[in-house]
Amino acid sequence: MHFTLTEEQSAIQQTALAFAREQLAPHALEWDETAHFPVDVIRQSAVLGMAAIYVPAEIGGSGLSRLDGALIMEALAYGCPSIAAYISIHNMVAWMAGKYGTPEQVSAWMPQLTSMQWLASYCLTEPGAGSDAAALAATAKKDGADYILNGTKQFISGAGATDFYFIFARTGGAGADGVSAFAVMKDTPGLSFGPIERKMGWNAQPTRQVIMDNVRVPASALVGGAEGRGFRFAMSGLDGGRINIGACSLGPAAFAIDKARAYMFERKAFGKHLADFQVLQFKLADMATNLEAARLMIYRAADALDRADPNASMYSAMGKRFATDLGFEIVNEALQIHGGYGYLKDYGMEKLVRDLRVHQILEGTNEIMRVVISRKLLSGNRG
């Protein structure tokens, strides 16, 4: 066992960090202030292989590991967690389309997804079905050779600005076995979007309802060509999604520590730099220690997923819970170190506090993470 990155992993990490510093960080405050979704910048990440990170190379992806992906998301989030999180969502959809699509679907969809010619949205959550995803009510009813989709999806990242919608709808009876997945393009008649939600954070990406009113799609839009498999598709993406949202908490925490450290050398109080006060030295030490612990949890979970470890879901839940809780705590402490200036938008700390708060809710709330962990522990099947 070792704790160093390979030469290739270090190169991947540095490439993503350079992109974050050059293309994301300089504009992050402006995008947040103006609620601008930088589609042009997001598409530039595809040139660097960040549009289909875990998709096999033979179908146009980068063929990288989940650990590689965590390194990339952590680095991108150093520049802007909102944009990094959207790129993670696009990657989840691209991975699902490549893994579960029929050969014909893969041929039709993957070139556009891996190049980000099509940006993707993941449509599972509904107004009445969040943590209990199997209770979704959207329907897809057979009509000749087509399906007619009706229902509403809630909290959909990128909705209205993206092109490819991976939608889960009920083709059968109640419960998980009645759910199927469909690929629907933005310009499909009957597909519309609610108003842009006014959010606490993540303002650089639009969040809207996706509304289906008699949306007619051909049978070729049924992902995998068979009904009743959608819920399994959705659940298979959760472990990776949880690892990624945890990784998207690491980057901003590292950024916040860097900013807090620099501020401690700039600001003086009572004739001394803040860096000379032991109480703040200890606070910075705790922040750095917590970041390193969270980072190790995320990397461990990603490695478990790559190795198909039977405990990978538990480790992913542990990592997500730990990293998102500590990430939020770290950026909040960095704001505190900045004092009144941290509360001002120009310093960027308050944006990180707002952005990272939702990470404790996404991909399953941290209360649900505790349910996942405790069930595994109590089952007696832990390896």
- Which residues carry out catalysis? 363
Gap between the terminal Cα atoms of the chain: 18
| b/e per residue 351-364 (b: at least 16 CB within 10 A) | bbbbbbbbbbbbbb
Report the alpha-carbon distance of residue 210 to residue 132 in Å, rounded: 19
Helices 81-100 and 349-357, axial angle in degrees (round to 10): 30
Helix (H) / strand (E) element for 378: namely helix 366-379
Enumerate long-range contacts of 6-11, CB under 8 Å, 24 or more apart.
9/67, 9/68, 9/71
Helix (H) / strand (E) element for 334: namely helix 312-338
- Provide the pairing of β-strand 120-123 with 164-170: parallel
Report the alpha-carbon distance of residue 184 to residue 150 in Å, rounded: 12
- The amino acid at 144: G
| Residue 297 CA: distances (Å) to CA of 1, 13, 67, 91, 300 | 15, 18, 11, 21, 5
- Provide the pairing of β-strand 146-157 with 207-218: antiparallel
By three-state DSSP, how is residue 301 classified?
Answer: helix
Contact between 258 and 210 under an 8 Å Cβ cutoff? The reply is no
- The amino acid at 312: A
Report the alpha-carbon distance of residue 69 to residue 9 in Å, rounded: 10
